């Protein structure tokens, strides 16, 4: 009888051990869960490293060299330095000192008879101080030379007046008429031989680069 009890005890010990141990957990299960958690955290961090400049954002930049209609042609490149930090949600996205690049889109000189000088600029990219470059689409800047009609009229009128005076001294009324015609013709000749005012952008001019499309910027 005693020997029978001794044989039952090992069996009970095995049952109790199995009931207390519960389901087994392998190393691969714990590793997979940890990797998933790290992946979620990494995605959150990466998302915070990127900001988007919305369409309508204005980047103020100072032109680094002069551009004029009598010395620059379409396609000529130019650079401008950003003069103010551009922020999104209190985070600096485009820092002071970044570079805006672009090209002369159009350049027309003033005509000798008509046609005022005109220049327009196209902005193509922003380069951050760390070297990262982002293509941009933005509204351009343009300048048109002032008109010279008033000045031209004064030149022609002034020539006629001088001619009248000289003609009157030389030959009375008839001479005055001839002198006026001659002087006016000389003034017209000067106007026809002279181009109007040129235009452009002086070195140091502040350019307002207004984005027309959003730009995603990596902050890392």
CB 133 within 8 A of CB 126: yes
Mean pLDDT to the nearest integer, 143-151: 70
Query: 155: helix, coil or strand?
Result: helix
- Please return the burial class of 201, using the count of CB atoms within 10 Å of its CB with bins 0-12, 13-18 and 19+: buried
CA pair distance 85, 40, nearest whole angstrom = 32
Q: 109 in a domain, yes or no?
A: yes
Using the predicted structure, report yes or no on whether residue 155 has a pLDDT greater than 50.
Answer: no
Pick the more confident residue, 53 or 176.
53
**Domain match, 89 and 141 both:** yes
Q: Give the pLDDT confidence score for residue 49 in this predicted structure.
A: 86
Phi, psi of 141 (to 5 degrees): -115, 145
pLDDT at 163 over 50: no
What is the rounded CA–CA span in Å between residue 64 and residue 98? 12
Is the predicted pLDDT of residue 32 greater than 80, yes or no? no
So what's the pLDDT on residue 175? 52
What is the Cα–Cα distance from 112 to 30, expressed in whole angstroms?
84
In the chain, the number of structural domains is 2
Residues 132 and 203 reside in one and the same domain: yes
- % of the chain exceeding 90 in pLDDT: 50
Of residues 136 and 220, more confidently modeled: 136
Alpha-carbon dihedral angle through residues 29, 32, 34, 40, given to the nearest 10 degrees: -140
Structural domain boundaries, residue 178: 149-195
Give the confidence band of 205 by pLDDT, cuts at 50, 70, 90.
very high
- Give which of 197, 195, 220, 207 is closest to 50, Cα–Cα: 220
Report pLDDT for 86: 97
User: Does one domain contain both 75 and 174?
Assistant: no
If you ran DSSP here, which 8-state letter would residue 65 be given?
A: S
Q: Is the pLDDT of residue 7 over 90?
A: no
The pLDDT assigned to 29 comes to: 58
Average pLDDT of every residue of the chain: 76
Number of neighbouring beta carbons within 10 Å of residue 65: 12
Whole-number pLDDT of residue 42? 55
Say if residue 184 is in the same domain as residue 107.
no
């Amino acid at each position: 009888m005693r020997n029978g009890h001794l044989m039952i005890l090992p069996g009970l010990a095995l049952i109790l051990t199995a009931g207390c141990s519960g389901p087994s957990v392998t190393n691969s299960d714990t590793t997979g869960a940890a990797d998933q958690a790290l992946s979620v955290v990494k995605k959150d961090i990466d998302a915070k490293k990127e900001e988007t400049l919305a369409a309508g954002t204005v980047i103020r930049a100072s032109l680094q060299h002069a551009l004029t209609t009598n010395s620059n042609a379409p396609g000529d490149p130019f650079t401008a330095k950003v003069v103010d930090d551009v922020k999104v949600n209190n985070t600096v996205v485009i820092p002071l000192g970044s570079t805006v690049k672009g090209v002369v889109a159009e350049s027309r000189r003033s005509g000798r008879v008509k046609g005022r000088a005109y220049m327009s600029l196209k902005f193509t990219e922003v380069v951050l101080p760390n070297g990262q470059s982002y293509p941009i689409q933005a509204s351009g800047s343009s300048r048109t030379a002032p008109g010279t009609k008033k000045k031209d009229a004064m030149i022609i009128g002034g020539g006629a007046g001088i001619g009248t005076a000289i003609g009157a001294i030389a030959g009375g009324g008839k001479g005055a008429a001839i002198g006026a015609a001659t002087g006016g013709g000389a003034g017209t000749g000067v106007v026809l031989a002279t181009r109007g005012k040129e235009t452009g952008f002086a070195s140091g001019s502040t350019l307002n680069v207004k984005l027309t499309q959003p730009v995603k910027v990596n902050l890392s």
